Chain A
Amino acid sequence: MPAPSEEMMEAIAEPAVPEVSAPRLVGHRSVIFATLAIALVLPFLVQSFLTFQLTLVLVYAIAIIGLNLLTGFNGQFSLGHSAFYALGAYVAAMLMDKVNFPYAATLPVAGIACFVFGFLFGLPALRLEGVYLALATFALAVATPQILKLSPLEYWTGGVQGIVISKPDAPYGLPLTQDQWLYFFTLLVTVIMTLLAHNLVASRTGRAMMAIRDNPTAARSMGINIALYKSLTFGVSALYTGVAGALGAIVVQFVAPDSFTFFLSITLLVGLVVGGVGWIPGAFFGGAFVLFVPNFAESISKGLSGAVYGVMIILLIFMLPTGAAGLVRAVTQRLRGQNIR
């Protein structure tokens, strides 16, 4: 048998449609357990500031999963997720500040508040497609910091000053620093949220979400209620981002209007694209990217950090047009020496 030509090998390695869905290796049990094991020992090996940063990576990852459910799996665009993040953060901060709510209990409340808000926002937004929806959500993102500063709300929101939250100690006398405890707490929430997202996407509901993304007309012909699914997806997406916002508030110990500008929405979008649209584990790659790479850019040039960051994003998009998902798929295929899917 003649050896296959290089061209042919390339043709085999290259999937015909660039945005092929989930590479399967990362779904492999052993990879998941190895990653979890590393995640569990990391805070004992690194400085506490890095532990704090890793916690924020997880927080971002939850928010990015939320955005991915909306954009990657349902085909709706949002530039307004900073608003849901802000709502989650403020709900948590106000509950702790004003009514002494235990920090862990703020998460479900923030999640539900954001679900309701997201669902209601999703209803009228249903009529909008693509760029128009992006614009409507953009308006939401721009309005949010200003609303948070309004003086009638100042008693609750703390106005421009925001709200300071105290850092929780590890419970049950566990021998952990505050940073380590918050990391583990966030990790637990992240694992739960990731599993739930995974199950949602694999369910009948998830199929319907993706069918709407791929072909709304055909989805309707199959009897799928598009309006309902789109609004629900908006709600669930907002819920994820709101829980992330609440966690973020607890971890950073502080909320203020200007932490939640439109720029945060863009940050989440960058994380989504870098991780891979339509691939849930990509959120962790994306979260790490948006947290560490801007710092790295700053270490290269203080004055031009924004430009350096921008160049890095552009390079990455050129080299990995499908984000980390594409990279992981390529590596997996190499390892297995065969085509997946």
Chain B
Amino acid sequence: MTALLDVYGLHASYGPTRVLHGLSFSVSDRGVTTLLGGNGAGKTTTLRAICGMVARTGEITFAGQTITRSSTEHIARLGVAHVPDGRGTFTRLTVEENLELGAITRRDRNDVVDDLERVFGYFPVLQKRRGQQAGTLSGGEQQMLAIGRALMLRPRLMLLDEPSFGLAPRLVHELFDILTTLNKREGVSLLLVEQNAALALELADHAYLLETGRIVFSGAAREIREDEKIRRSYLGY
């Protein structure tokens, strides 16, 4: 499989603080890659660096195009949807307005209506709450809204930062089922950052393990799942 996203020698820093020290990894077309690692390892920063939200150097190519020097909004327009950590909704707008904002850069107005229905198909609860202010949704509902909104962009690649964070176990499974469907049926590639390593490894085909801004291990997800030593020493399960 060819790579949709290729990251080579990625460095990133917040002001004088260097956080990423030369990461190289890739997400294959229609594939799922997961980034694992402890708190402060640099997972969130990696996603931010890909979308141009922090100062970065190195070489990032998306669908054959170099995006290392592109602006965040340009990268979004290319079809990279970032679902940031925390509840990144537009709190004072309604659910429907939030979703429509996901498609704001698109010109095909009619398809947007279809896509709204498609998102409601995945997340029926959002349809029930379409007129409600996003800030008044429950945490889990807001997480679904953030993912639904990213879908409205019709992304080729989604960057998901701990989508399961703060969700009840049943909801986590539901969410991962939806992510699986998105990937398998719609061919959306995923770069998944997760604390829940067991779950992420089930969905992913490739995994990279991050420690203080460096990749310490990488391989096929299946290998890691089956390698007890790695699981014990790095993933703690």
Contact = CB atoms under 8 A, between A and B. Distances in A.
Contact of A17 (B81, B84, B90, B91): B91
Contacts of A21: 92-93, 133
Interface string A12-38: 000111011100000000000000000
Interface string A127-138: 000000000000
B136 A214 contact: no
Contacts of B105: 222-224
B102 A217 contact: no
Nearest to B92: A214
Given A16-B136, A341-B131, A218 B72 contact: no
For chain B, which range describes its interface: under 10, 10 to 19, 20 to 34, or 35 or more residues? 20 to 34
Nearest to A218: B88
A211 interface: yes
Interface string A200-215: 0000100110110111
Nearest to B106: A223
A78 to B, nearest CB: 20
A210 B92 contact: yes
A278 interface: yes
Interface string B90-120: 1111100100111011000000000000000
Contact of B149 (A17, A213, A222): A222
Contacts of B150: 221
A302 interface: no
B76 A215 contact: no
Contacts of A222: 76, 101-102, 104-105, 149, 153
B91 A207 contact: no
Interface string B150-167: 100100000000000000
Interface string B36-71: 000000000000000101000000000000000001
9 contacts: A17-B92, A207-B104, A210-B90, A211-B93, A211-B104, A217-B88, A218-B146, A221-B81, A341-B133
Interface of A: 15-17, 19-21, 204, 207-208, 210-211, 213-215, 217-226, 278, 341
Given A219-B90, A221-B150, A223-B153, 13 more contacts: A20-B92, A21-B92, A210-B92, A214-B92, A214-B93, A217-B53, A218-B89, A220-B51, A222-B101, A222-B105, A223-B76, A223-B105, A224-B73
